[in-house]
Chain A
Amino acid sequence: MTLWHRLLRRRALERELDAELRDHIEREVADGVRAGQSEADVRRQMRLTSGGLDQIKEACRDVRRPRALADVGADLRFAWRVLAKDRWFTAGAVLLTPAVLWTEAPLRQLTLGWPWLLYLGGVATAGAYAVYSLGLRRVPASVAGVVTLVEPLTATLLGVVLFGERLGATGVVGAVLLFSALGLVLTPHAVSRDA
C-alpha cells in the first residue's frame, strides 16, 4: 500500500469507527427506551461505564497503532529492496556522487537540483496521484482507465506545441483513435449501459 492509499484508508477507518460506535449507541438507546428507561438515562449509564465516545475511539486506535508502525518498517524495507534490485542504478548513483565535486560550484549544483527533485516527487508524482485518486471517486474505473491512455498523447502534444516537435501521420491517426475512444466512453449512453 502506498502512503497515499494509507492516508485515504485511515480516513475511511475513522469514518467507519465513528459509524460503528454510533450504531451501537443508537441500538442500546432504542432497547433501553423500549424497556421503559428514558433516553437520557441510557446515555448517562453508557457514559459512566465506557467513558465518552472519544475515549472509546482512542482505545480502538491504540489497538491499530502497532500495525501503523509496522507499515513504516515495511516502507523502509521496500525502499531498500528497490535500491537493492536496481543495483546497477544504485551503483551508478553512488559512483556518480563524487563527480559532483568536479563540477563548478558543487554546493550550488546541489541546491539548484533539490527544488527540482522535490517538485518531481511532490507535485509531478504525489500531487498527480492525489488528483487522480480524487477523480476516481467521481468516474467509473473503466473511464479512468481510458483517460490515463491520453497521458502519452498530452506529452506528445506538449512537445509539439512548446518545442516545435512534429507529429507523423501514424501519430495523428493514433491521436484521433484515442480521442474517438474517449468520446465513445464518455457519452452518457455508453456510461448508462455500463452501469
Chain B
Amino acid sequence: MVPERSDLPQGTLDLLILQVVAAGAIHGYGIAQRLQLISRDVVQVPQGSLYPALHRLENRGLLTADWKMSDTGRESKFYRLTPKGRKQLKEEAASWRRLTEAIGLILKTAGGSR
C-alpha cells in the first residue's frame, strides 16, 4: 500500500532537518531517508526542497558541514548542528508543540465536528 503523502506546513522542514541532524553528523540523502523512515513514508522531501533548505540553514549559521569519506568511496558533505542551531531547534520544537496542542484543542472542542 502506498501511504498518502502530506505537504509539510510552511516552515516545518527546517525544524525537521534540525531535529534529524541533532542526532549526529549526516549527509543530505541520509536526512531525507531518516525523515521518510521515521514518518512512515508520510514525509518525503524531494531534492529540490531539501538542499535549498540545508544551504539556508548553513548560511544562517544553524548548521555547519564537513566533507568526509563515506561508505560510497566518495566524499560526502556531512551536516552538524552548531550551538546556535541547537538553541533554535529547542525553541522551534517548543513553539511547535504549543501550536499543535492548541490546534488539537480547538479541533476537539469547537462545535460542528462530525
Contacts and interface: CB of A to CB of B under 8 A. Distances in A.
A46 B47 contact: yes
A153 interface: no
Interface in B12-50: 27-29, 32, 46-49
Interface residues of A, number: 24
Interface of A is mostly: helix
Given A16-B77, A23-B74, A60 B52 contact: yes
B46 A50 contact: yes
Given A50-B47, A59-B51, A19 B59 contact: no
A25 interface: yes
A20 B28 contact: yes
A56 B49 CA distance: 8
For this complex, into which size category does the number of interface residues on chain B fall?
A: 10 to 19
B51 A60 contact: yes
A21 B56 CA distance: 15
Given A23-B29, A59-B51, A64-B55, 5 more contacts: A19-B75, A19-B77, A24-B28, A49-B46, A56-B51
Interface of A: 16-17, 19-21, 23-28, 30, 46, 49-51, 55-56, 59-60, 62-64, 67
